[in-house]
Amino acid sequence: MIIVCPSCSGRFYYDENRFQGSTSKRLGCPSCSHEFDILSPHQPSPIVPSRLNPLIHNRYVLLTISGMQMDPFVIQQAVITIGRSEGEITTHDPQCSRRHAQISLEQDGSVWLEDLGSTNGTFIKSRAIKEKCSLENNSEFTCGHTRFQLMIHPIARSGKAI
């Protein structure tokens, strides 16, 4: 799995087998040595305790893994739009519609993907989505020629902001 450092945005590869059954691991970034927690890709989305803002509990990052490359995008609001030329994430991908898809974050920490009636569709595992679909940690989806991966990092409980 591809890991993105929440401090320097450096990307590196982490062998999923190293989780060895545990749900999360603490890593040191090889570039900047920042320490952070990552979740096993075999874990369902982490549950956020009630009355806790999911954006304080977890860090949600969208990576582009193929197609138009962009810097990792950190989700900082409950609803974001992906589009060719509009929205919080603009792909500049000719295969994307002007407003293509929407990602929403629920109070329980779950993440949902919805197509906004795009011309070429939004795909999860090569299937065009027809309605709101839940995204898990490490879920991939495609808008036009741009393939995204969602990463969910629990924020360290030390109380210090990242």
Nearest CB to Zn ion, comparing residues 8 and 52 = 8
Distance CA 67, CA 113 (A): 19
Nearest-approach distance from CB 17 to Zn ion, in angstroms: 23
DSSP 155: P
Smallest separation, CB 86 to Zn ion (Å): 31
7 vs 90 by CB, closer to Zn ion: 7
55-77 residues labelled b (16+ CB within 10 A) or e (exposed): bebbbbbbbbeebbebebbbbee
Q: Shortest gap between Cβ of 134 and Zn ion (angstroms)?
A: 29
* Cβ-based nearer residue to Zn ion, 32 or 56: 32
CB of 114 to Zn ion, least distance (A): 32
Q: How far apart are CA 23 and CA 40, in angstroms?
A: 5
Q: Which CB, 34 or 99, lies closer to Zn ion?
A: 34
> Smallest distance from the beta carbon of 12 to Zn ion, in angstroms?
9
Q: Are 75 and 105 in contact (CB under 8 A)?
A: yes
In this complex, which beta carbon is closest to Zn ion, that of residue 32 or of residue 47?
32
Interface residues with Zn ion (CB under 5 A) are: 5, 7-8, 10, 29, 31-32, 34
CA torsion through residues 118, 122, 127, 131, sign: negative
